[in-house]
Structure 1
Amino acid sequence: MKDVGADVVSRTVSRLRDAGCVFAEEEAELIVGEAADATELDIMVARRMSGVPLEVILGWVGFHGLRVEVDAGVFVPRRRTSFLVRQAVTLTRPRAVVVDLCCGTGAIGLAVAAAVPHVELHACDVDPVAVRNAARNVGAVGGHTWCGDLFAPLPTTLLGRVHVVVVNAPYVPTAEIALMPAEARDHEPHHSLDGGVDGVAFHRRIGAEVGRWLIPGGHVLIETSEGQAELSADALSRAGLDVTLATSEDLGATAVIGRRRE
């Protein structure tokens, strides 16, 4: 909204704070700035008060310095995942082939391609809603999108040609989904959260398949948690990859990195 008075922002802050929004001031500024008029502002605030994620209401999220479009029903990129992007960028050379697996909005692949020139980017997800969302984001950097289970939809011409695979697969243990914040639990699809009994079911499947897609010396990087890092690392080492771990205390982020031997 243009020419908004301080009283409008103040009332919006109060409504959000009363609904339990921890960052009411910051959210109010974003919502007021995005709303076209007073009617739309009221609708957006009401949605936020009901628990709809801010990023879905805005239709975008700031991620790794980029504005990434976010559709309803798609996993919202987390700030901590920018650590995975930083690790991937250090391992990606210009003109590399990069696969963003379980891509959701395509934010990770987009961020890598935005940082490294002339990357050939492929983004995959099992959910057609996510793939449509990702297509708009990665299309901005010439990326390709594919719909299907893990590596299955990728063209076989990529076998043995991929330099970097980046993965933010579901890694929440099934029993812990009920303990997640309502924003995720009630507004993000469970298939984008549920990592199986111990949270690393997808990591094991990826470890078993990734080697045949990577070039010798190629890398796979998977976001995981500190408590699951050993299991995620084991999933890659059992597949014959050389494994290292990277962590960020500031972001509370952990990544397991596997390298295909030469």
Structure 2
Amino acid sequence: MKVKKTVHLSLIIPLLVAMTAGIFGEESELPSELSFLAETKTPDILFLAGEITTIDSTGAALTILPFRFYWEEGNYALDVRNYSGSIALFVRGIADTVWIYDFYHNTKITSLRNQSLGMVTGIPFSPKDILPIFNLYIEGNMGNLDTVKVEGSRITAISKRGYVYVFDSETGLLVELREKSRKITFSEHLAKKGFKVPHMITINEGFLIPIASATAITIKEMDLNPGDENNLLLHKEPLNMERAFDLRSNN
């Protein structure tokens, strides 16, 4: 199987957004059917590692990008690499500020966590959208819900923006996210000390690159007590992370 060694980094952020866009809204009280989201205990420290893969219609991999994610008491970093090992995307969130560096475009964006970056990136991206991928929920949770219904072991929540979230009522885990024809599934969860993250995340559309028909994220490693070598917050920020855009404001 031939795997391309390079990737257009402008495609990575839309991938992250597609999995989580809209899962947070304005702060609002959760309906009783979804109260388990507020009760989910977030670990103080979480390290994850895996791969992002785009797939063509024959099932062959087009691009494979290793990634690492580190979370510690609300601060986090996401490091995505080209298959050759060169850095592709780096995201760091400290307190309410998030820095995103797209090495393909040599662009750095600095923003508040609750800001939309669509004006800069051309996509409706907010930094807080990264966290639900890894089952980490911050203040705000699922606001702006229009409908919540229970059918057997499935809880379906529909937002006013048209996003459909399907949870397993027995585990409290998100198993499916739909938006128009796009369908994202979360399966085969990894677990440690009661905390779970999806092992497989699959997107049924090839919106990342024209010839891709699906995208898969595989989380292969999970650690709640990683060593310093996996603490991305201790690592020096990659070179060229000079500020290019600063969207922070007091509004």
Larger proportion of strand: 2
Q: Which has the higher contact order (CA 8 A, sep 6+)?
A: 2
| Same fold (TM > 0.5) | no
Of structures 1 and 2, the larger Rg is shown by: 1
Q: TM-score range by the shorter chain?
A: 0.3 to 0.5
Q: TM-score, normalised by structure 1?
A: 0.31
